[in-house]
Amino acid sequence: MNTAKLFLPVLLFAALTSCRPKPLDIEVPQQESKLVISASCINESTVLVAAAYSVTSLRNLEDTSQDVVPQDMLADSAVVTIAAAGQIPDTLERVGKGIYGSRTLQLQPGVRYTLTVIDKKKNAAATATTTYMPKPEIEEVTPDVIRHEQDTVVKIHVKIRNVQPGDHYFMSYNTLDQARALVLEPVSSLQSFSPKRIELFDDGAHDGVITKTITLNASPSDTLVVHIGRVDEHYYKYLDAYKRTGYLINQVTGEPINLPTNISKGFGYFALYRAERRIFDLSRY
């Protein structure tokens, strides 16, 4: 081999690499983990609150690749309270890992309530304030299973009366097994605390009545749990963004998502509303 021919490219490579600037050592500030809050209001006396921590930039991404919240990310030693202005706070009991609840509240429609979550072990705290919204006046919730030879379409007819200007409503639904997991498996319930299937409607009222027919992502053999609630404008906007960007689990373990929040020093959303709940065995329709 001609050594002169080999020497020239080696010399050029050395000259080019020697011109490269030395890499700069840049310290990127690590984002602190924050509390992520979600709530479920069963009725005027029963409320559940889920509390966990968002992922830090130091955590191994493989740790958060699954739809499961790691145990050390659950706020398992927090003090959680709910109080109306000027009232003695009610302390929620720990009912599962990262899940707190009470069956003795006395929520009043139109009253604003403040949630406080304090975790002394991690020196973290978060607060949020919301207005309790009463149950909507539902005139009809009727499923409709249209069976064809090739496929089956599942629809639901909803009629809400006494609708006022500026009212905001949503409907969510999931299977009975998913609804049971919310109570029986507190850790996995963080993934389904917010509705996974959401329909929003705040218009279309005629003479104070909203009538909707919605096609569902459901099987004719499913047993569905349907929730219909009236919420304030801020939570309505949160649900709209949530529907377009992902689920609560993404806020806990995924990349940052620009969702609106009313949690001070945290993520998620604290809302209190009494929903109309119906269960339908679609095999009977």
Average pLDDT over residues 257-284: 90
In this structure, whether the domain defined by 137-250+275-284 belongs to CATH 3.30.70 is answered with no
For the chain, what are the domain ranges?
Answer: 35-131, 137-250+275-284
Closest CA to 36 of 19, 49, 22, 23: 49
Query: Residue 146 pLDDT > 90, yes or no?
Result: yes
CA 205, 132, 178, 236 torsion-angle sign: positive
What does CATH list as the number for 35-131? 2.60.40.10
Model confidence pLDDT, tens digit, residues 21-60: 555 555 555 557 889 998 989 899 999 999 988 865 544 4
Nearest of 200, 230, 235, 196 to residue 214 by alpha carbon: 200
- Residues 165-176, mean pLDDT to the nearest whole number: 89
Percentage of the chain surpassing pLDDT 90?
A: 49
Do 35-131 and 137-250+275-284 have matching folds?
Answer: yes
Give me the pLDDT at residue 56, please.
Answer: 57
For the chain, the straight-line distance linking the first and the last C-alpha, in angstroms and rounded, comes to: 84
Separation between Cα atoms, residue 66 and residue 196, nearest integer Å = 17
pTM for this structure? 0.76
Any idea what DSSP says for residue 107? -
Q: Can you tell me the distance from the alpha carbon of 47 to that of 100, in angstroms, rounded to the nearest whole number?
A: 8
How far is residue 107's CA from residue 279's CA, in Å, rounded to a whole number? 25
Pairwise CA distance, residues 73 & 252, whole Å: 8
